[in-house]
Structure formats: C-alpha cells, structure tokens
Amino acid sequence: MSDVDPITASVIQHRLVAVAEEMGEAMLRTSYSQIMNSSRDFSTAICGPEGRLVSQAEHIPVHVGALPWAVKAVVEFFGDDVHQGDVFLLNDPYHGGSHLPDLTAFVPVFAGDRLIFWTVNRAHHSDIGGATHGAYNATATEIWQEGLRVPPIRLYEKGEIRADLMQLLTINVRLAKDFQGDLAAQIGSVRLGERRLEALMEEFTPDVVVDAVEVILNSAEQQARGVISSWQDGVYHGVAVLDDDGRGNDDIAIRAKVTIEGSDLEIDLSESDYEVTSFVNSSHANMQSGVAMALAFLLDPETPKNDGSFRPVKVVAREGSIVWAKPGAPVTLSTSHCAQEIIEAIVRALAPACPDRAMAGWGRRFRIAIKGDDPRNGQPFIWHMFHARPGAGASSGGDGWHGSGEWHSTGGLKFGSIEIVETRFPLYFRRHEYRANSGGSGRYTGGAGVDLDLEVETATPCKVNAAGDGARHGAAGMLGGEDGAPHRYLLRAPGKRPRVLRTKEEGIEVPVGAVFEIHSAGGGGWGPPGEREQAAKDYDRRNGYTTKSGGKSSKAKA
C-alpha cells in the first residue's frame, strides 16, 4: 500500500474523472457529424501505461470495457518506441478494436521520459468504407467487405502529422470531410486530456499521482469485492440465444459458466457456439467489453468503473467461437449483437446468486435504414430509424422503462423529433405509441415496446436495409419473469401481401405508397407474475399497457 493519504487520493480521483469528462465535453463541442454531437456515440477514458483503465466518463457502456485492449494492442506493436507528441490510431477488431466504425485515438502522457498515462477517445464514425455505406453489411462474409482495417498506426510522430497516412485513411471512406472533422475532434480531445494530466502531475508530482492511482484502483477493487462476496458461492450457468446469423443458421447460443468463490468471479464463455459467416460474431475486445458491462450493471452505480473494479473477474473463452471469432470473420453488428447476448447469458447465470441485482433483459436492437429520393426537392436521402425503441428490462427496482432501448446503451440513445423528421424527410408518422402487452409479465413487468406506422411518401420506390436481432427471441425474463414480446416489423405495400422483415437483410425493395408497420420488442419481466400486486395490474390495465385480450395469446400473434 502506498503512503499517499486517502484525502489526496480522493482529490486526485475527482480530478482524473473530471479530465475524462472534459475530454468528452471537448469532443461534443468540436465533433462534426450527427452521430457524435447528437447521438453522442463516443467515449473518453484515461488508461495506465500498460492499458489499465484508470478513469472514464459515462458515455457508451459498450466502448469502455474494450479500451484497455486497444491500448494493449498499441503497446504490443510499438513497445518503447512511443514519444511525446505521438498520436496513435486503430480500429481493427483483430488488433484491439471492437468493430470497424469505432476508431480509437490515443496520446501517451509523459513525466520527463517516463510514460504515465494514455488518454483515449473512441468514436463511431458514420462511414468507414467497405461494401455498404455505414459499415452495417448484413451480407458480409469476411471483414474486408465491412470497411477499412486500421491496425495500430502512428498518425502523428512527435507532433508532426504523417500526411501520407492521413490521405490513405481519407481516400478509403465515403464522407472524407465528416471523417476528418470527427477525427480532428478526437485528437483535440486526447491532447486536451494530455495537457490536463501534465498539469495534475506538476501540481502533485508524478510519483504522488502514480501512487494515488494505485490507491484509487485498489479502493475500487475493494468495493467490487465487497459486493461480489455478498453473492452466494457456487457454479452457475446461463444461456442466451441469437435469432440467427442471417445466412441460414438459427438459434446461435452464448453460454456462460460463472463460478463465484468468495470475492472472485470466473466467467467461462468457452462453451458458446462456433463462429458464423456473418457480422454477429464478436471480436475479442468486444467480448471482454460485454463481460465488463455485465459486471458494471450488477455492481452498484456508485462503484467506480475502472481496472480495480474489474480485477475480481477472470474471463475464459475459446478462439473460433461466436464470442471470439478468428481473424478475418465479419463482426460489425457485434457491439449490439452478440455483445448483448454475452451480457444476458452472464446475468442469467448470476441471477440465482444475486437476485436483487439481476435485471431482466433489455430489448434487442433492430435497425432499419431507408434510402430513396425526396419528391419535394429531388434530392436523395438516407434515414436511419432510432424511433420505436424497445422496452427496458424490469428489476428489483421496479417495472422496466417503456421504450428506453437496449442493453448496450441503456437509455443513452435519443430519437429525434417526429416533427423534424417529417419536415426533412418524405415520411409520415401515423402512429407512434406504446405497444400493449409487449413487456414480459412478472412481479415487475418489462418496459413496453413501441408501435410505429410509418408511411413512405416518395414518388419512386425506395430501398431498405435491416440489421439487428430479436424477431424470434424476446428480451430475457428473469427469476420467473417472462420474456418480452419479440420484434415484429411488417412492410405493407398497396395490393400486396404484408411482408415480414427479417433482422438481417440488404436492399429490400419498398414500393411507392408502402407503410412500415413496426412493433418493437418489450423488455423482460422480473420475478413470478403471480407475485404482481393487484394495484399494479389494475394500473397497467387502466392505462392500456395491457389489454383484456392481452397476455400470451396476443403476444404470439403480434
């Protein structure tokens, strides 16, 4: 144990978190594309020289657990050849990345010639080259079809940009201007973090800061262990099942075997199914992130999320499985699926050991993007649907939040105003309301999904792409609670039979006058339905969250 006093350690901890937050604010203010400054799909963090996560700002849960692996990949490739003023970059899932659209920028922070920290910024770019716009390519069978792969590279050498490398990147993406603007914002953000950390070390001396980091991580470890040791020892099993890979394989299983011994946790995913040929495979870093997310959700919100709090966990997995694909396999969907099923399998396994903490499943992601021409101005448009959010899982804290989204973002993704969408796109929202009977029954009911009737008002046919999961398997019910209703998306065209959209499809023809009838998934229920209070049932009925004809039969029909 270091001799840094607990007060100084507390002060330095606040400063480290504030630096990560300020990096995030700078990113928000300077980023260029909508996905970053509006949807905020980026994360900032500070890591130690060997990659340990020291502090993070609360952004996108699925990024954070993956960042240490990204730092490790840079350290592994460059070793001691790291200098003040360097900026490193990567996205390759087989070199520490999660999926190709997530580009990660790093700056080493020195005290004299001693490497003390890395400042890290990961952001989801709107395009990264490859066969389809925006990287979600349901037909990809290998990673080269998904976009440009960037292994760890040095983009700035001792403060000087390597213009040839920058050109190599920008020439390979569709929206070079957006890409450069967002990348510049990322680099500004990590450099700001560097300046702030240098000032911190000047104020307290590097030795005190380094010692304080040990105290901070040990303290988080102690907190996490305190929680885990209150869980019942034993070996637990949990399974979560993906609908399919979109290429003929149904019911792909993620299996977690979790062993609790005192305050230690071993999470073994090696019995999960083999990897597949489509983008639902997970990279190694993304699998680690899924595990970290599951743990973060089960610990207290007050426990800092850093290397210390993840120390009690040992992860076991097998290369070549769905959670850890071999180099070359496509992985773009994995930050949604199968990251969410990794969480679900672990939480399912641990539910009997810590029932008060185990929340039921959150809805799965099912995205569609419509591409066509706007008859009002003749311009082409692409619209990505963030509306009709699925329901959140119920927990011992109460019913799930209605329409609040998926496990990977836990209510952090915002859908835009319908009035704005109707003004800017040839789309007409006839209905956008909670979907009755969609939340899984339980002592606490899962959050409702949403019904959306969306009319496409173009003069020419459109195309739609789909990427997601959960049209067959609903969000997991927990501890006796029932699963939520799965997604059901229909395409109704004049004079044609309604067509059910599959979750992994590319280039579906949308005739003029078509209406999408979307029913998004409900969240899972928690605890036996028989234990639900009558007053709560009456409230649901009175407010139309459930209907008389509701329950299982209509769910099956829906």
Partner 1 sequence: MYRIGIDVGGTFTDLVAIDDFGKVTLGKTPSTPVDQSIGVMNGLVQVAETLGLSLADLLATTDRIVHGTTVATNTLLERNGPKIALLTTEGHRDVLEMREGLKPERYNLRLARPEALIPRHLCLGVRERIKADGKIDIPLDQASLDKAIRVLKREKIVSVAVCYLHAYRDGRHEQATREALAKALPDLHVCISSEVLPQIKEYERVSTTVVNAYVAPILARYLSRLEDALKTAGYGGPVLIILSHGGIAPIAEAIRMAAATVLSGPAGGVSGARHAAGLIGMGDLIPFDMGGTSTDISLIVDGQATLANDRRIANERIALPSLDIVTLGAGGGSIARVRAGGLLEVGPQSAGAMPGPACYGNGGAEATVTDASMVLGYLDPDNFLGGRAKLDKAAADAALDRLGRELGIDGVRAAEGVHRVVNTQMAEGVRLATVRRGVDPRRFALLAFGGAAGLHGTELARQLNLGRVVVPRIASVLSAWGMLATELRLEITRTHIGDTANLDIAAINKLYAEMEAEGESRLRGWFDGAIHSLRSADMRYGEQIFEIDVPLDQVDFAAPDLLAQIKGAFERRHEALYTYSLEDQDPVLVNARVATIGALPALPEEPLVEASAPIAPSGQRRIYLDGWLDAPIFDFDRLAAGQSVTGPALIVSETTNVLLRQGDVATTTPLGWLDIQVPI
Residues 291-350 touching partner 1, rule: CB under 8 A, are: 296-297, 299, 301-305, 308
Three-state DSSP class for 338? coil
Is 381 a binding residue for partner 1 by CB under 8 A? The answer is no
Select 418 or 508, whichever has its Cβ closest to partner 1: 418
Using the contact rule CB under 8 A, the part of the chain among 165-173, 404-412, 476-484, 506-514 near partner 1 is 404-412
Is 395 a binding residue for partner 1 by CB under 8 A? The answer is yes
Three-state DSSP class for 219? helix
Q: C-alpha distances in angstroms, 210 versus 3, 52, 127, 190, 343? A: 11, 13, 38, 19, 33
Is 393 a binding residue for partner 1 by CB under 8 A? The answer is yes
Q: C-alpha distances in angstroms, 344 versus 275, 290, 364? A: 18, 9, 11
Question: Pick from 546, 256, 453, 243: which is nearest to 365 by CA?
Answer: 243
Q: Is the dihedral of CA 77, 290, 65, 189 positive or negative?
A: positive
Select 326 or 376, whichever has its Cβ closest to partner 1: 376
Strand ranges in 173-293 using DSSP code E only, listed in sequence order: 234-244, 250-261, 264-268
Q: C-alpha distances in angstroms, 365 versus 31, 278, 338, 469, 473? A: 25, 16, 11, 6, 12
Three-state DSSP class for 225? helix
- Residues 98, 404, 437, 441: which binds partner 1 (CB under 8 A)? 404
Is 121 a binding residue for partner 1 by CB under 8 A? The answer is no
Is 14 a binding residue for partner 1 by CB under 8 A? The answer is yes
Is 58 a binding residue for partner 1 by CB under 8 A? The answer is yes
Strand order in the sheet with 515-519: 427-434, 450-456, 515-519, 488-492, 499-500
Three-state DSSP class for 155? strand
Select 94 or 434, whichever has its Cβ closest to partner 1: 434
CB of 38 to partner 1, least distance (A): 4
Is 195 a binding residue for partner 1 by CB under 8 A? The answer is no
Region class of 219: left (phi > 0), else alpha (psi between -120 and 50), else beta: alpha
Instruction: Locate 535 and state its tokens.
Output: 């007053």
CA 158 remoteness from chain centre: 33
Using the contact rule CB under 8 A, the part of the chain among 69-77, 229-237, 420-428, 481-489 near partner 1 is 420-428
Give the containing element (helix H, strand E) for 515.
strand 515-519
3-state secondary structure 293-310: HHHHHHCCCCCCCCHHHH
- Residues 195, 431, 496, 552: which binds partner 1 (CB under 8 A)? 431
CB of 82 to partner 1, least distance (A): 28
Question: Please, which of residues 20-39 interact with partner 1 by CB under 8 A?
Answer: 21-22, 25-26, 29-30, 33-34, 37-38
Select 93 or 308, whichever has its Cβ closest to partner 1: 308
Strand ranges in 262-400 using DSSP code E only, listed in sequence order: 264-268, 313-316, 366-373, 380-384
Is 222 a binding residue for partner 1 by CB under 8 A? The answer is yes
Give phi and psi for 123, each to the nearest 5. -140, 145
Is 392 a binding residue for partner 1 by CB under 8 A? The answer is yes
Question: Please, which of residues 36-55 interact with partner 1 by CB under 8 A?
Answer: 37-38
Select 22 or 266, whichever has its Cβ closest to partner 1: 22
CB of 151 to partner 1, least distance (A): 30
Is 528 a binding residue for partner 1 by CB under 8 A? The answer is no
Residue 556: is it exposed, middle or buried by C-beta count within 10 angstroms (0-12/13-18/19+)? Answer: exposed
Please enumerate in sequence order all residues whose Cβ is within 8 A of that of 424, keeping only pairs 6 or more positions apart, or say none. Answer: none
CB of 545 to partner 1, least distance (A): 7
Is 542 a binding residue for partner 1 by CB under 8 A? The answer is yes
Question: Please, which of residues 128-167 interact with partner 1 by CB under 8 A?
Answer: none
- Residues 152, 246, 403, 522: which binds partner 1 (CB under 8 A)? 403
- Residues 221, 243, 268, 483: which binds partner 1 (CB under 8 A)? 221
CB of 296 to partner 1, least distance (A): 5
Is 191 a binding residue for partner 1 by CB under 8 A? The answer is no
Count the site residues for partner 1 by CB under 8 A. Answer: 87
Using the contact rule CB under 8 A, the part of the chain among 71-79, 165-173, 210-218, 459-467 near partner 1 is 210-218
Q: What is the DSSP letter of 398?
A: B
Question: Pick from 431, 521, 432: which is nearest to 473 by CA?
Answer: 521
Is 10 a binding residue for partner 1 by CB under 8 A? The answer is yes
Select 279 or 425, whichever has its Cβ closest to partner 1: 425
Is 18 a binding residue for partner 1 by CB under 8 A? The answer is yes
Kindly write out the interface string for residues 440-479 of this chain, putting x where it contacts partner 1 by CB under 8 A and - elsewhere. -------x--x--x--------------------------
CB of 189 to partner 1, least distance (A): 12
- Residues 419, 497, 534, 548: which binds partner 1 (CB under 8 A)? 419
Is 219 a binding residue for partner 1 by CB under 8 A? The answer is yes
Select 317 or 345, whichever has its Cβ closest to partner 1: 345
Question: Pick from 470, 473, 474: which is nearest to 503 by CA?
Answer: 470
Measured CA to CA, the distance from residue 148 to residue 169 in angstroms comes to: 8
Q: What is the DSSP letter of 178?
A: H
- Residues 44, 121, 410, 437: which binds partner 1 (CB under 8 A)? 410
- Residues 79, 164, 378, 420: which binds partner 1 (CB under 8 A)? 420
Give phi and psi for 388, each to the nearest 5. 50, 55
Select 82 or 413, whichever has its Cβ closest to partner 1: 413
Is 229 a binding residue for partner 1 by CB under 8 A? The answer is no
Contact of 352 with 527, CB cutoff 8 Å = no
Select 56 or 272, whichever has its Cβ closest to partner 1: 56
Instruction: Locate 328 and state its tokens.
Output: 């070359």
- Residues 78, 249, 386, 502: which binds partner 1 (CB under 8 A)? 386
